[in-house]
Structure 1
Amino acid sequence: MIRTIPELISIPVGCLFAIGLVGAAAAQEPQDYPMAQGGTITLPSGEISFADRVVRFEEGDPPSEREDARDPEAVLGPPDREEGGESAALTLGCHGSIVLEFTDNALIDAEGADLHVWEVGDDAEPTEVAISGDGDSWHEVGTVSGGTSSLDIDEVADEGASYRYVRLSDRDCLGRHGRWPGADIDAVAAVGTAERIVLDSGVLFGFDEAVLSEEAAQVLDDLAERIAEAPVSRLEIEGHTDSRGSASYNLELSERRAESVREYLASLPVLEDLSLDIRAVGEAEPVASNETEEGRQENRRVEILALP
């Protein structure tokens, strides 16, 4: 059975800092979390490091006999399954899989391990891990299994790339019979992470334009002050559009819009020590359906990755 989770709710500009750089110092404060196999792991960016949204859950066959072990949203946020507990984690089922999205951060290649998976339960069940920037092209990272739960994406990551999605797939279904067939997943976190700021293109630009509006200046000024207070060395500014118009035109428009934001931020003294790059995405990475006006509005955006 495949369950698709509703699309991400649109982020109002008034709630711009509800994701990414919310209380800049607190959002990036390192925190320790207990690992499923004992000991602790330090996440440099704290709670924003965890996966935020379930994109798709393909439940294996057989599934768990326990209804409370079949909720895919049990994977989201910090680990909360108590030692010896029988819930607060998702059982994938035999050869089941789940796709998760990071919305307020992005997975990046940093020094050492970059991704940690809380695979819990009595059996150490192999779980294949893949990452993607767009949800279509996937890089197979490796396998986690109980005591081996951290992965370095260095060998598969493109230079300077960031990744929005992670896919976990039960491989061998060791727990084929019983209440928890397949891997049991409590949480997933990006150890190597960059914060993500999402800006509504409707506030920054007029229709089909790439010239910043008067309102945009205040939004970007406020954003720059917050970025300046955070331990950030580089910004990657991404332009995104909906799918109306040709793909080539949308790519060009997204590039012009990203460049307008980059030029403005580069002109601000508080950000003079930062490196600013742009990435034109066009319509290639939607976060909602382009079949509705609400979805298209979500897709018309500028995303800024604040990298350490």
Structure 2
Amino acid sequence: MHIRPAIIAFIVGALCGPAIAQSAKTYADGSDGTVTLPMGDLSFADSALRYEMGNPAPIEPSRDPRAAIGPPDWESLDTPERELTLGCGGSVVLRFEDNALIDIEGTDLYVFEVGPDVEPTFLAISADGETWTDIGDISGGRADVDIAPYVAQGASFSHVRLTDDGEECSGRWPGADIDAVAAIGTAERFVLSGEVLFEFDSASLRDSAREALNATAEAIGIRALSEVRVVGHTDSRGADDYNRQLSLDRAQAVRDWLSTRPELQDVTLTTSGAGESQPTAGNDTEAGRRQNRRVELIAVPTR
């Protein structure tokens, strides 16, 4: 298929996801053990959104929340800048951007805590960073977490919040010391711009969107997938019920088009409409609203 330059620009700018599917990789867990993640480096949190440092606070080199994103790299007390210490009762919110946390059989999430002392931590997960599902107290060291008892079937999450329990706060690194957080139950997340796909207030695909969706199908069709969840999103303008229905209608339009593609004939395509409930940016500016008007494809790998 020949793709016009404008469509190529659309794919690069509006389709966010790894160019090449990831493979399994083994990591040190900080406690003389290892963890093997089926999706490799794709599994780890990509950004730190909020850090509320506890009191007493850790030493200065261990206060950077960016130390908790990406693969684990802490080695010893001589590399304090490679882990984030929460401080007594402190917390951090991390976000998965190119992947989504989903429930699979068995363990879904790993929390890599390091250092000579390990402290209990409270874990919560969220789809939007605002409404949280409490998973509860996790043990120190490598925490193997199964989210199944707490979430609805088919749900996906982009945010993780870790909060130190506020006990045993002493020394130079009071509170939990976080090196990395990984989703073993992970699916690739692809984000398509709503403005490119649809006219204003419409669920009918633009002519140019159809060609772009064909190219998108080619991009995700090379992966071994069991399911693609198509989720529509809107900005906050308009009534909640209307936005939820519009987002669902748009997801169904994308699903219907993808279902015609030979690359996805053996893949289950499901739809849902989140409406305005899961913004990725503020709705107080046009740039933020544009970012929130989107359709996400959650590509669930074959297990």
TM-score normalised by structure 2 residue count:
0.92
Structure-2 separation of matches of 1:286 and 1:105: 16
Matched, 1:164 2:161: no
Structure-2 separation of matches of 1:52 and 1:90: 14
2:221 is aligned to 228
Task: Report 1:260-271 matches (<5 A).
Answer: 260-271=253-264
Task: Report 1:25-104 matches (<5 A).
Answer: 28-64=22-58, 66-84=59-77, 85-104=79-98
Structure 2 counterpart SS, 1:233 = strand
Matched, 1:257 2:250: yes
Structure-2 separation of matches of 1:74 and 1:54: 9
2:15–2:191: 8 Å Cα contact kept in structure 1? no
Give the alignment partner of residue 125 of structure 1, picking from 115, 119, 122: 119
1:206 is aligned to 199
Superposed CA offset, 1:244-289 (max 9, x none)? 1222221121111111100000111221111111110111110000
2:49–2:94: 8 Å Cα contact kept in structure 1? yes
Structure 2 counterpart SS, 1:117 = strand
Structure 1 counterpart SS, 2:225 = coil
2:112–2:141: 8 Å Cα contact kept in structure 1? no
Structure 2 counterpart SS, 1:141 = strand
Structure-2 separation of matches of 1:244 and 1:104: 26
Residues 41 and 16 from structure 1, CA distance in 2 versus in 1: closer, same or farther, beyond 3 angstroms? farther
Q: What letter matches 1:47 in structure 2? A: D
Structure 2 counterpart SS, 1:273 = coil
How many pairs does the alignment contain?
292
Matched, 1:180 2:173: yes
Give the alignment partner of residue 102 of structure 2, picking from 87, 108, 115: 108
Structure 1 counterpart SS, 2:19 = coil
2:5 is aligned to none
1:199 deviates by 0.4
Structure-1 separation of matches of 2:255 and 2:104: 24
Superposed CA offset, 1:71-129 (max 9, x none)? 11111111111134322111101100111111111111112211001111110111111
Give the alignment partner of residue 22 of structure 1, picking from 14, 19, 28: 19
Structure 1 counterpart SS, 2:148 = coil
Q: What letter matches 2:30 in structure 1? A: A
Q: Flag structure 2 segments of 5+ consecutive residues without an equivalent.
A: 1-8
2:14–2:192: 8 Å Cα contact kept in structure 1? no
Structure-2 separation of matches of 1:62 and 1:38: 28
Q: What letter matches 1:95 in structure 2? A: G
1:51–1:102: 8 Å Cα contact kept in structure 2? yes
Residues 179 and 18 from structure 1, CA distance in 2 versus in 1: closer, same or farther, beyond 3 angstroms? farther
1:167 deviates by 0.8
1:237–1:303: 8 Å Cα contact kept in structure 2? yes
Identity %: 49
1:149 deviates by 1.6
Q: What letter matches 1:144 in structure 2? A: I
Structure 1 counterpart SS, 2:149 = coil
Structure-2 separation of matches of 1:68 and 1:147: 21
Structure-2 separation of matches of 1:21 and 1:147: 30
Matched, 1:246 2:232: no
1:21 deviates by 4.0
Structure 2 counterpart SS, 1:249 = helix
Residues 13 and 94 from structure 1, CA distance in 2 versus in 1: closer, same or farther, beyond 3 angstroms? farther
Q: Where has structure 1 moved over 4 Å in runs of 4 or more?
A: none
Structure-2 separation of matches of 1:60 and 1:151: 24
Structure-1 separation of matches of 2:300 and 2:156: 10
2:27–2:35: 8 Å Cα contact kept in structure 1? yes
Residues 288 and 239 from structure 1, CA distance in 2 versus in 1: closer, same or farther, beyond 3 angstroms? same
